[in-house]
Structure 1
Amino acid sequence: MTTETRITAIHATPGYSGFFFDDQRAIKQGAQQDGFTYDGEPVMEGFDEIRQAGETLIVDVELEDGTVVRGDCAAVQYSGAGGRDPLFRAEEYAPLVEGPVAEALEGRDATEFLANAETLEELQVDGDRLHTAIRYGVSQALLAAAASATGTTRTDVLADALETEPATEPVPVFGQSGDDRYTNAEKMFVKGVPVLPHGLINSREKIGEDGETLLEYVEWLRTRSQELGPDGYEPRFHIDVYGMIGEIFGAPYDRAEVVDYFADLEEAAAPYPIQVEGPMDAGGRAEQIAAMVELREGLRDAGVDVDIVADEWCNTLEDVRAFVDAGAADLVQIKTPDLGGIHRSGRAVRYCEGTDTRAYLGGTCNETETSARACAHVALATDAAQVLAKPGMGFDEGYMIVENEMRRTIARRERAEQSRADAATDEVTADD
């Protein structure tokens, strides 16, 4: 270790994230929207309002040579739901980062990303592991520090740590519309976004009492994509229903009524593929896996080609492994803030290799531009099936951040490879 690559200080500054924290349980129980907010009292522990401002903890890591790099601690929009860590309060956790976390990492060699990230994962305070948001944000800064100290890209640092061969083209980006599901979907069509629109179908009003409203929306997506998309455009529709199909139909999920509804969704999307995220919320990991296996088997037996995406109760690296091992999903969302250290998201993507489950590197609208860029490097390093456009629900900003970070990194890696090839040619010429 040279003195120039030593970590000398870690600082934490509370700030805002790209969206809001929402009390999912209160919303599912029927809280009514009042403009952008919700009427009623919160249900989830820690919430002051059903919808409240998202928070981040900005982490600066200083190196001996004066370089300062950044990571952002972030937690998902629906914190505390589906088995996730509780609501993240930046002011509360800032002393923890500048205290025990800094003490564990200061003086370490910044080039040793994986060792530093694992030290962070194993750190306990009063017998408890650190909140996932802290591990997520600090590990982003450690990744940036390693890239700076070695003069390479964060993609290369991760690829070395995870023993992967990075993608040479941008990973397909998944755009999310928020509640403005028509206008934002049209924006996505114009830009030729490969996977869309998320849709935020999180209430009976949005899905319809019998699911009819969602069917109408998917039909509109198909028609409008053909009108607005570029030549040769073949989108993949991805709808997040937040367990609402389960709310409408109930178990068992392999019965004809449920399977027929998915067949209707397939027909509404045709000729384009469609995947449905979080079809039900069964109340626990084992129950969710069993319900999704039941649904997948019912769809397979009926020849219905709709992919199922795991979200609820699939939070940690251990959860991802359990869903993949059970064959419970066609895709698993790797919800990056919920896995803790960013290298663990990469490991979750890798766990899908060689299985019939694809890896969707997701996260939340409630992140920041810093965490979104870091995740773009995870997507490239692992060649994930798709990566979420984030942060925010306005679509354009998140898509620009993630897509451009991947394009910029690929171009930089290509230039570096060309320089190495030119240098090798020059050396051979000189020897001759």
Structure 2
Amino acid sequence: MQIKDVILTPGHGAFFYDDQAAIRAGVGQDGFIYVGDPVTPGFQSIRVPAACLSIGLVLADDTIVWGDMMGVQYSGAGGRDPLFHAGQIMDLTSEVIVPRLLNTDSSHFLDACSRAFEFSEGERLPLSIEYGVSQALLSAAAHAARSTMAEVICAEFGLPLPQRRVPIYCQSGDAREVNVDKMILKSVDVLPHGLINSRSKFGADGHTFIDFVRWVARRVREIGQPEYSPVLHFDVYGWIGLEIGLNPQKISDFISKVSDAVPEFTLNIESPADFGSTQAQVDNYAQIVAILDGRGSRARIVVDERCNTLEDVRLFAEAKATHLVQIKTPDVGSIADTARAVLICKENNVGAYVGGSCSETDVSARASVHVSVASQADMMLAKPGMGVDEGLTIVGNEQNRLLAVLKRRRTQPHNVA
């Protein structure tokens, strides 16, 4: 199934790109807009509408398959690629990627990715390009095999057809209370994220945050179904370290205190601190994990910042420097590397959370579902957007449809080329 033409068209991401450093410094808000000057290079304002670039591969039979390139909400932070500019990415894709794709046999996914993502002028391509192009190549391989994208991943990586549903994690954005209620009423597996990205949301010594954690737990009991017991997952964007100090013992003590406040729930704390570099993050997170495990705590830490690429994931997993890795799909690059990252986590008995960003699209979200289910990740993000309903519908329904197809496959075998 050769590629005979390539289409590029700009589009919208589902949320915004935000200057994390400026927000962390304590800028004010005017409605939905942050007030002040940006700090991170590339940002013309603190909050920028998210953009994407769609790539369509025209196959030999005139079928067109799509993938979407974009950055993450907090681009340029924590060692990530700089802010996504659709025009610049389009120029680079046209110049470097399109010639590589033309006449490529797209029926073999990993081979096609290897060809497309060779270094250019001695450097790796922007990870957003790898991410979007690999989605399209995965879709092309599925079309050639007359299968689902998940079956292509299973065939390429030698995995059995999955049967287990992957738990779904929703994020609240700033509309915390309303969106928590939505999540509880819809019995979401993991909730609520909470967007604890400023001192005002974390509070002096973390009291505001702990009060919010208690409120979420209480709300689950007030309006949730009797047997409903979700995992509570909060992203604190490094604020434990910023407020309590960059000391693993003190950070562990604080996390234990939060966990003790909601003893009937498993508690995930994402990005408890930013120690400034990947190696420092590995070293200090490993200490936090050891302290919490030594106490038999129900709290688990989740790494995000400073763990971006496949190589980073391997470092954290092999060092047991986290309980779960957020495999942030646009930052990992090729969606094949997302699958590899899940498998690395599993080999090292570390949890694999296929995440991403609110700035993604419906196309990238659906592709992520297939990789998550095929590789049997431990949880996956409901995306895109900062609402609950849209992301949960896109990711949840895609998973349900996929599992229904795979169930049928097991009773009526279908050969994947």
TM range (shorter): over 0.9
Q: CA deviation at 1:251?
A: 2.5
User: Which amino acid is 2:195 matched to?
Assistant: L
Looking at structure 2, the residues matched to 104 and 379 of structure 1 have their Cα atoms a distance apart, in angstroms, of 28
Q: Which residue of structure 2 aligns with residue 107 of structure 1? A: 103
Partner secondary structure for residue 192 of structure 1: coil
Partner secondary structure for residue 237 of structure 1: strand
2:245 to 223, 245, 250: 250
1:254, 1:297 within 8 Å by CA — same for their partners in 2? no
Q: Which residue of structure 2 aligns with residue 236 of structure 1? A: 231
> What runs of 5+ residues in structure 2 fail to find an aligned partner?
none
Equivalent pairs, count:
414
Q: Which residue of structure 1 aligns with residue 152 of structure 2? A: 157
1:8 to 2:4 alignment: yes
Partner secondary structure for residue 204 of structure 2: coil
Q: CA deviation at 1:298?
A: 2.6
1:66 to 2:59 alignment: no
1:383 to 373, 376, 379: 376
Q: CA deviation at 1:141?
A: 0.3
Q: CA deviation at 1:326?
A: 1.1
1:217 to 212, 226, 230: 212
Q: CA deviation at 1:275?
A: 0.7
Q: CA deviation at 1:195?
A: 0.5
Overall identity of the aligned pairs, in %: 44
Q: CA deviation at 1:32?
A: 1.3
Using a 3 Å threshold, how does the CA distance of structure 1 residues 98 and 11 change in structure 2: closer, same or farther?
farther
1:259, 1:302 within 8 Å by CA — same for their partners in 2? no
Q: CA deviation at 1:270?
A: 2.2
1:414 to 2:410 alignment: no
User: Which amino acid is 1:377 matched to?
Assistant: H
Partner secondary structure for residue 139 of structure 1: helix
1:400 to 2:383 alignment: no
Looking at structure 1, the residues matched to 140 and 347 of structure 2 have their Cα atoms a distance apart, in angstroms, of 32
Looking at structure 2, the residues matched to 411 and 301 of structure 1 have their Cα atoms a distance apart, in angstroms, of 41
2:290 to 290, 297, 301: 297
Q: CA deviation at 1:102?
A: 1.1
Looking at structure 2, the residues matched to 121 and 268 of structure 1 have their Cα atoms a distance apart, in angstroms, of 48
Q: Which residue of structure 1 aligns with residue 118 of structure 2? A: 122
2:91 to 95, 99, 106: 95
Q: CA deviation at 1:291?
A: 1.7
User: Which amino acid is 1:304 matched to?
Assistant: S
Looking at structure 2, the residues matched to 140 and 123 of structure 1 have their Cα atoms a distance apart, in angstroms, of 19
1:293, 1:327 within 8 Å by CA — same for their partners in 2? yes
Deviations 1:159-209 (A, max 9, x none): 111222243132100000011111101100001000010111011100111
1:21, 1:51 within 8 Å by CA — same for their partners in 2? yes
Q: Which residue of structure 2 aligns with residue 206 of structure 1? A: 201
Looking at structure 2, the residues matched to 50 and 339 of structure 1 have their Cα atoms a distance apart, in angstroms, of 24
2:170, 2:192 within 8 Å by CA — same for their partners in 1? yes
Deviations 1:62-98 (A, max 9, x none): 0010100100001110111100111110111112223
Q: CA deviation at 1:355?
A: 2.3
Looking at structure 1, the residues matched to 95 and 225 of structure 2 have their Cα atoms a distance apart, in angstroms, of 52
Superposed, which structure 2 residues align to 1:11-410 within 5 Å? 11-124=7-120, 126-255=121-250, 258-410=251-403
Partner secondary structure for residue 211 of structure 1: helix
TM-score of the pair, normalised by structure 1: 0.93
2:265, 2:298 within 8 Å by CA — same for their partners in 1? no
Indicate the larger mover: 90-99 or 144-153: 90-99
User: Which amino acid is 2:245 matched to?
Assistant: G
1:121, 1:340 within 8 Å by CA — same for their partners in 2? no
Quote the RMSD (CA, aligned, Å). Answer: 1.3
> What runs of 5+ residues in structure 1 fail to find an aligned partner?
422-432
Partner secondary structure for residue 73 of structure 1: strand
Using a 3 Å threshold, how does the CA distance of structure 1 residues 302 and 150 change in structure 2: closer, same or farther?
closer
Using a 3 Å threshold, how does the CA distance of structure 1 residues 253 and 420 change in structure 2: closer, same or farther?
closer
Q: CA deviation at 1:233?
A: 0.8
Deviations 1:136-159 (A, max 9, x none): 001000000110111000000011
2:22, 2:39 within 8 Å by CA — same for their partners in 1? yes
Looking at structure 2, the residues matched to 356 and 207 of structure 1 have their Cα atoms a distance apart, in angstroms, of 31
Looking at structure 1, the residues matched to 47 and 170 of structure 2 have their Cα atoms a distance apart, in angstroms, of 22
Q: CA deviation at 1:37?
A: 1.2
Partner secondary structure for residue 352 of structure 1: helix
Looking at structure 2, the residues matched to 406 and 148 of structure 1 have their Cα atoms a distance apart, in angstroms, of 18
Q: CA deviation at 1:358?
A: 0.6
Q: Which residue of structure 2 aligns with residue 427 of structure 1? A: none
Partner secondary structure for residue 205 of structure 2: coil
1:175, 1:388 within 8 Å by CA — same for their partners in 2? yes
User: Which amino acid is 2:304 matched to?
Assistant: D
Partner secondary structure for residue 212 of structure 2: helix
User: Which amino acid is 1:236 matched to?
Assistant: V
Partner secondary structure for residue 12 of structure 2: strand
TM-score of the pair, normalised by structure 2: 0.97
Looking at structure 2, the residues matched to 342 and 300 of structure 1 have their Cα atoms a distance apart, in angstroms, of 32
